[in-house]
């Protein structure tokens, strides 16, 4: 009664304490996850803001050049047919007052003239088709609202190896001009290398770099040529060949094509980077900053360092308290398990002989057979000879003494892992495990026979007790308990038939 009251008293505080601890831990983990996510979002937003600022600079750089060229282009269109020198002079002035390294005015065909009044056959250019392609869909610039209102105002063409600029990498602003003669164009060549001057390395770590890519991932311009990520022409191909291509990177590709900002992480040849990207607003080009992953992680760690330290302290305190509760419960569980094991052993034990009872014997043998279907075992089934006569002449008490003595002594000749049980009034079953050598079978059978040659029962009156024994081999004589027991029982019958006080193997008669 007292033990029951103690357990009830412990349960009254133990259960609520555990529930409270679980709730607090869940809340702390949620708070930790949200704090970490908030810190990551805050760091990402700050980094995205930097990249978006430079993306706007690129867009403004190109848009300013195009905006300066539009009125001059219209003016050139009015005079070019009558005064080529005037138009060339205007083109030269335009070049000198913008960052364009070349200006070409062309009609709707292949005829063009540069700022030096030199005629240019545009069909000789490798990018001729892109220049005269209708500015629609993905090629339409959204550099600013004014251009968007003019459906054919400006488009931008990326040129990797420009013939006009002697192999320069450039962005060509193609300005459409509606004139009386038709649709002429003014081409303004911006050296893409100028983009490098727009970036400050102090915004991120010293190893950070920037690069511009088009929608398919082709690298147009970069501030770093040493990074593993930039040794190929296409950033996505480089990452994919490294084997580190994952769902986050695939998502980033889609977001870039949708003109969205964001970030992703990647590793190539041991170089770990966090890439922050923002749309330029022209031709779905994207500006990307490659920042050391460790730098980004440190920013995030500093962002929520104090909160993390507090969480760690609370978690440690909770785990200590929970550990005490667990230790108490483990000790109680061990005691309970030992008690259950003791009760289980009592339930499996034959009270007279202290051996396994019939149910326990059968269960343990079956369990071994299921786990070791290909191992060889040996089953003995034995009956005490003339046991009824012993009971009738010497009394049931002496008969019990015979069974008790047999139970206490027979276990000493076999291994502790073998199964020995009393399975009937004077019937005993012995199962020996892992006897894969036939010589072992004979040795164990002989050992059992020798035991009964010297077995005596009785404290004051020594009585020589003999037994008839049947033996069967698993799995040769039976692949399950029932068939093996039947085989051993048949062998027992043969031993009795031969005159008792002997051992017979199943199949000996055959």
What gap in Å lies between CA 353 and CA 348, rounded to an integer?
A: 12
Give all strands of the β-sheet with 209-213 in edge-to-edge order: 219-222, 209-213, 286-292, 271-279, 262-268
Determine the Cα–Cα distance for residues 96 and 61; give it in Å rounded to an integer. 15
Domain 42-192, CATH 3.30.450.20 — does that match?
yes
Q: Of all residues in the chain, what percent carry a pLDDT higher than 70?
A: 84
The string of pLDDT tens digits covering residues 319-378 is 777 677 667 777 777 776 677 666 666 788 998 999 999 999 999 999 999 999 999 999
User: What's the whole-number mean pLDDT along residues 495-499?
Assistant: 93
- Is CATH 3.30.70.270 what the domain over 358-505 is classified as, yes or no? yes
The token pair at 117 is: 């009044």
Residue in 125, 67, 114 with CA at minimum distance from that of residue 92:
114
At 252, which helix (H) or strand (E)?
helix 247-257
User: Could you tell me whether strands 467-474 and 503-505 are parallel, antiparallel, or unpaired per DSSP bridges?
Assistant: parallel
Q: Is the CB of residue 147 less than 8 Å from the CB of residue 155?
A: no
CA distance 434 to 475: 11
CB 435 within 8 A of CB 379: no
* Triad 385, 391, 393: Cα angle to 5°: 100
pLDDT of residue 381: 97
Q: C-alpha dihedral over 265, 271, 276, 282, to 10 degrees?
A: -110
Distance between CA atoms of residues 67 and 144, nearest Å: 10
Question: How far apart are the C-alpha atoms of 82 and 98, rounded to whole Å?
Answer: 26
Query: Under DSSP, is residue 268 helix (H, G, I), strand (E, B) or coil?
Result: strand
* pLDDT for residue 140 is more than 70: no
Among 180-189, 193-202, 429-438, the range with the most confident prediction by mean pLDDT is 429-438
User: Which two structure tokens, joined as six digits, stand for 157?
Assistant: 């063409």
Say whether pLDDT at 201 is over 90: no
Q: Which residue has the tokens 């490098």?
A: 196
DSSP secondary structure of 104-166: EEE-SSSEEEETTS-EEEGGGSTTHHHHHS---GGGS--SSHHHHHSTTSEEEEEEEEETTTT
DSSP 402-449: HHHHHHHHHGGGS-TTSEEEE-SSSEEEEEE----SHHHHHHHHHHHH
Domain boundaries, the chain: 42-192, 199-303, 358-505
Type and span of the H or E element at 25 = helix 2-79
Q: Decide: 39 and 300 in contact? Cβ < 8 Å.
A: yes
Is residue 168 helix, strand or coil? strand
Task: Give the pLDDT of residue 49.
Answer: 93
Placement of tokens 């404290």 in the chain: 459
* φ and ψ of 204, to 5 deg: -125, -160
CA distances to 86, 210, 239, 390 from 177, in Å: 18, 34, 42, 128
Kindly state which CATH superfamily the domain 199-303 is placed in.
Answer: PAS domain (3.30.450.20)
- CA 491 to the chain's CA centroid: 59
Please tell me the distance from the alpha carbon of residue 35 to that of residue 307, in angstroms, as a whole number: 8
Q: Give the residue-averaged pLDDT of 378-397.
A: 93
Tell me the two tokens of residue 462: 């020594």
245 pLDDT above the threshold of 90: no
Query: For residue range 289-330, what is the model confidence (pLDDT) as tens digits?
Result: 999 999 888 888 887 666 667 767 777 777 777 677 667 777
Q: What per-residue confidence (pLDDT) applies to 435?
A: 93
Predicted confidence (pLDDT) at residue 455 exceeds the cutoff of 60:
yes
pLDDT at 490: 95
β-strand partners of 422 = 428
1 — pLDDT class (breaks 50, 70, 90): very low
pLDDT of residue 499: 92
Compute the average pLDDT of residues 63-89: 78
pLDDT of residue 469: 96
Same fold across 42-192 and 358-505: no
- In the structure encoding, which two tokens stand for residue 250, read together? 């695939």
Task: Answer yes or no: are the C-beta atoms of 267 and 228 closer than 8 Å.
Answer: no
Residue with tokens 């609520």: 16
The backbone torsions φ and ψ at residue 62, rounded to the nearest 5 degrees and listed phi first, read: -75, -40
Report whether 384 contacts 402 (CB < 8 A). yes
Among candidate residues 173, 197, 286, the one with its CA nearest the CA of residue 235: 286
**Predicted TM-score (pTM) above 0.85:** no
The 3-state DSSP class for residue 195 equals helix
Q: Among residues 145, 136, 120, which one has the least CA distance to residue 67?
A: 145
Strand 182-191's sheet: what is its strand order? Answer: 119-121, 111-114, 102-106, 182-191, 168-179, 154-162
Give the model confidence (pLDDT) of 246-301 as tens digits.
888 889 898 898 899 999 999 998 899 999 999 999 988 999 999 999 988 888 88
Residue 307, pLDDT score? 65
């Amino acid at each position: 009664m007292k033990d029951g009251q103690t357990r009830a008293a412990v349960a009254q505080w133990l259960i609520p304490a555990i529930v409270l601890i679980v709730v607090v831990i869940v809340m702390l983990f949620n708070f930790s996850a949200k704090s970490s996510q908030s810190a990551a979002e805050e760091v990402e937003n700050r980094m995205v803001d930097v990249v978006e600022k430079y993306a706007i600079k690129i867009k403004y750089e190109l848009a300013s050049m195009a905006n300066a060229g539009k009125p001059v282009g219209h003016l050139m269109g009015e005079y070019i047919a009558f005064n080529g020198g005037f138009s060339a002079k205007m083109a030269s002035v335009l070049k000198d007052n913008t960052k364009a390294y070349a200006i070409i005015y062309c009609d709707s065909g292949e005829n063009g003239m540069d700022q030096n009044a030199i005629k240019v056959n545009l069909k000789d250019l490798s990018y001729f088709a892109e220049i005269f392609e209708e500015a629609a869909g993905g090629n339409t610039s959204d550099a600013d609202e004014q251009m968007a209102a003019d459906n054919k105002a400006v488009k931008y063409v990326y040129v990797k190896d420009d013939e006009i600029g002697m192999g320069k990498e450039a962005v060509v602003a193609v300005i459409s001009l509606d004139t009386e003669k038709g649709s002429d164009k003014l081409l303004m060549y911006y050296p893409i290398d100028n983009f490098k001057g727009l970036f400050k390395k102090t915004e991120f770590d010293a190893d950070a770099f920037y690069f511009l890519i088009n929608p398919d991932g082709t690298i147009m311009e970069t501030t770093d040529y040493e990074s593993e990520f930039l040794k190929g022409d296409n950033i996505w191909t480089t990452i994919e060949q490294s084997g580190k291509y994952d769902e986050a990177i695939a998502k980033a590709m889609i977001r870039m094509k949708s003109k969205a900002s964001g970030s992703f992480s990647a590793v190539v040849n041991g170089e770990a980077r966090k890439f922050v990207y923002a749309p330029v607003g022209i031709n779905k080009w994207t500006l990307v900053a490659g920042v050391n992953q460790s730098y980004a992680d440190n920013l995030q760690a500093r962002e929520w360092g104090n909160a993390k330290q507090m969480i760690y302290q609370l978690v440690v305190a909770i785990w200590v308290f929970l550990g005490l509760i667990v230790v108490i419960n483990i000790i109680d569980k061990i005691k309970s398990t030992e008690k259950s094991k003791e009760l289980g052993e009592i339930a499996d034990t034959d009270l007279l002989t202290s051996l396994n009872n019939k149910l326990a014997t059968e269960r343990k043998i079956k369990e071994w057979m299921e786990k070791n279907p290909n191992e060889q075992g040996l089953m003995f089934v034995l009956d005490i000879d003339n046991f009824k006569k012993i009971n009738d002449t010497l009394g049931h008490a002496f008969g019990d003494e015979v069974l008790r003595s047999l139970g206490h002594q027979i276990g000493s000749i076999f291994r502790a892992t073998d199964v020995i049980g009393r399975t009937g009034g004077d019937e005993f079953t012995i199962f020996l495990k892992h006897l894969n050598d036939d010589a072992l079978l004979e040795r164990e059978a002989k050992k059992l026979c020798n035991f009964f040659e010297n077995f005596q029962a009785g404290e004051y009156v020594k009585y020589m007790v003999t037994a008839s024994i049947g033996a069967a081999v698993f799995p040769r004589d039976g692949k399950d308990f029932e068939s093996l027991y039947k085989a051993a029982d048949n062998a027992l019958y043969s031993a009795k038939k031969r005159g008792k006080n002997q051992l017979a193997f199943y199949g000996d008669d055959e």
